Amino acid sequence: MELVENPLEERMSLRQLFYQKIPYLEANTPDWWRQEYKNWGQLLYDGLCEEASDLFLEGRFSYQDAGIIDNSGANEYIYQNKVGLREQIPPDEECVPDYPVEIWVENNATFNALIPLFHWVYRDKSNHWKINIVSGKGFTKSQQIEEFEMERADDVQYVFCLNDFDPAGVCMATEDLPNRFKQRGLNVEVEHIGIFPEQIPEKRRGISLTTFKGKLAKRFIEEYGKDYPLVKQGYGYELQALTPSEIRQLVLDHLETYKRNGLFS
């Protein structure tokens, strides 16, 4: 298998590329390997990363030419604060949301996939959504809530969350973030819109690189394990199992549903 048969239609992280190759990997992984190495999926992903690095250093592969951007992990530096993006945003009075909704995500790969939904970045008249996208995880959410409270609380009524399907991701969307808004006295409806396993194409659900443990794991397994066999084994699913365009479509479908139901005009 070539690392990338043809340049990707849209830039992806290596993790997203891995998930696109899952059907091939599962079909060509011998049973003895699966039995001997319980974490065989992670080993294959690590091998993909190492192979890409070696080929690049040998001058036989280009991340740029292949359309790969290796930024799957979240970090504490929120992309909205980068000067390069700020320079593209018009004055504040032009950025009042057309719709009282924001999208909050837990990693920068997902944030980058959703950038085309920014009305002020892609000036396409067919893109009628003007929404804010917030990237961050863990305690950085509190910093974002402070900015939200100071700058956007009067305009935004809904926050749609995109998180990995694991104990921390689900808890952040369904409990942690709503509780933080409530603590600050903010009347915001937080809804977890993804990711759920059924939102991932079935052929990519066979293995997952997302493992979990800790105090939330037991409750997570009890709640979801009956429906998802991998959850019983300590695996969740991550947003990077979707391509950038699939992530955008997931969000757009949810926005359109809310619009059709008259929840915002």
Using DSSP's 3-state secondary structure scheme, residue 134 falls into strand
Q: What is the pLDDT of residues 3-30, one digit of tens each?
A: 665 667 788 888 888 998 889 888 999 9
CA distance 132 to 124: 17
Dist CA 47 CA 56 (whole Å): 14
* Any domain includes 108: yes
Closest among 3, 11, 26 to 204, alpha carbons compared: 26
**What residues does 190 pair with on adjacent strands?**
159
8, part of any domain: no
Catalogue the E-assigned strands of the chain. 101-105, 132-135, 158-162, 189-194
Is the pLDDT reported for residue 203 higher than 70?
Answer: yes
pLDDT at 224 over 70: yes
**Same domain, residue pair 25 and 122:** no
Q: Does residue 88 surpass a pLDDT of 50?
A: no
- Residue 102 and residue 179 in one domain: yes
Same domain, 62 and 193: no
Q: 153 and 44 in one domain? A: no
pLDDT > 90: what percent of the chain?
39
The span from the CA of 193 to the CA of 16, in Å, is: 19
Q: Is the pLDDT of residue 212 over 60?
A: yes
Cβ partners under 8 Å of residue 4, min gap 6: 17, 66, 67, 68
> Which segment of 32-36, 118-122, 136-140 scores lowest on mean pLDDT?
118-122
In this prediction, residues 236-265 reach a mean pLDDT of 90
pLDDT at 139: 58
Q: Please state, in angstroms and rounded to a whole number, the distance separating the CA atoms of residues 111 and 86.
A: 15
Same domain, 56 and 112: no
Provide the token pair at 83.
Answer: 């000067």
Average pLDDT value over all residues in the chain = 81
Tell whether 234 is covered by a domain.
yes
Q: What's the average model confidence in pLDDT over 70-95?
A: 44
116 and 246 together in one domain: yes
Instruction: Please write the tens of the pLDDT for every residue from 54-81.
Output: 888 888 888 878 888 765 544 433 334 4
- Asked if residue 254 is part of any domain, the answer here is yes
Q: How many Cα atoms are found within 13 Å in the side-chain-facing hemisphere of 162?
A: 31
Residue 155, pLDDT above cutoff 80: yes
172-189 pLDDT, tens digit per residue, is 999 989 998 998 899 999
Of 121-130, 238-247, 251-260, which range is least confident? Answer: 121-130
Residue 149 CA, distance from chain mean position: 24
74 domain residue, yes or no: no
What are the phi and psi torsion angles at 189 (to 5°)? -90, 115
Same domain assignment for residues 62 and 103: no
Residue 197 within a domain: yes
* 258 pLDDT above the threshold of 70: yes
Q: With 70 as the cut, is the pLDDT of residue 126 above it?
A: no
Cβ atoms of 186 and 145 closer than 8 Å: yes
Whether residues 125 and 31 fall in one domain: no
How confident is the model over 90-98, as a mean pLDDT? 50
Domain that holds residue 183: 79-260
pLDDT for position 77:
36
Please check whether residues 212 and 159 belong to one and the same domain: yes
Q: Are residues 202 and 95 in the same domain?
A: yes
pLDDT value of residue 6: 64
Residue 246: Cβ-neighbour burial (10 angstroms; 0-12, 13-18, 19+): middle
Residues 21 and 89 in one domain: no
Is residue 37 domain-resident? Answer: yes
pLDDT band at 171 (very low <50, low <70, confident <90, very high): very high
Question: Both 230 and 112 in a single domain?
Answer: yes
CA proximity to 161, closest of 150, 152, 172, 151: 172
Percent of the chain having pLDDT more than 70? 80
The band of 1, judged by pLDDT with boundaries at 50, 70 and 90, is very low
Split into its structural domains, the chain has a count of 2
In angstroms, the CA 236 to CA 221 distance is: 10
